[in-house]
Every structure is written in C-alpha cells, then in structure tokens.
Amino acid sequence: MADKIVIPGKPRTSHNVELVGVDYRVFPPKALVAMDLQRQLTAAGDEPEKLVEALESLLALLFGRKVAPTVLDRLKDPEDDLELDDVMELIKHLLSRASGDDTPTS
C-alpha cells in the first residue's frame, strides 16, 4: 500500500474587531470564496440590486448569517456613523493579516 499524503490545512480563525463603536467577531473568508465574491462585486458594476446582493453575501461571510443583518441595518441607518468605507477598511486589515502583514496599504 502506498504512503498516504496528509495535508492538515489551517484552522479557520476569527478576529475581534471594533467597527465604528460596536464590537464584533469576524471570520475571514476562505480564499476561493473571497475570489468568487470579488467576481460578483465586479460583475455587479453599477446595478444597485446586484451590488446589495454581493454586499449581503460579503457581510454574511465576515460576520456570520445571524449578525450580518444587523451590520447591514447599521449601514442603512442614517443615524449610524458606519459607512461602507469602514467595512472595506476592515477587509483590507483582514487581508493584510492573512498575508502576514499587519499594516494594510491604503
């Protein structure tokens, strides 16, 4: 019998973050899922409905299906200071950490 090749993989990590005054636990998406989501965002172009669908998918990946709607509600709330740019900044930080660099580029 041939030797078995074992690829143990890396355990999925999470990070505690404070996003415009509210604490969350975020889960960086797997690389393939993140690439597919990037494709969806690019394909959405200027179509608001497709952009919102892609954003909802992104939030579900980052925050989990239970918490994501509350983040989306915050983004829609005119009284809340959370902006889409803040979520994008969080993504930059997560990508930097995933690559081993704790200083994201702007």
List, for residues 32-78, the tens digit of each pLDDT value: 777 777 787 788 778 888 888 888 888 998 899 999 999 999 999 99
Quick check: 4 and 13 in contact, CB under 8 A? no
Higher-confidence position of 103 and 83: 83
Q: Return the percentage of the chain with pLDDT > 90, whole number.
A: 37
Please give the Cα distance from 103 to 106 (Å, whole number): 9
Please give the Cα distance from 82 to 17 (Å, whole number): 14
Phi, psi of 17 (to 5 degrees): -135, 155
The reply to whether the predicted model has a pTM over 0.85 is no
Please give the Cα distance from 68 to 60 (Å, whole number): 5
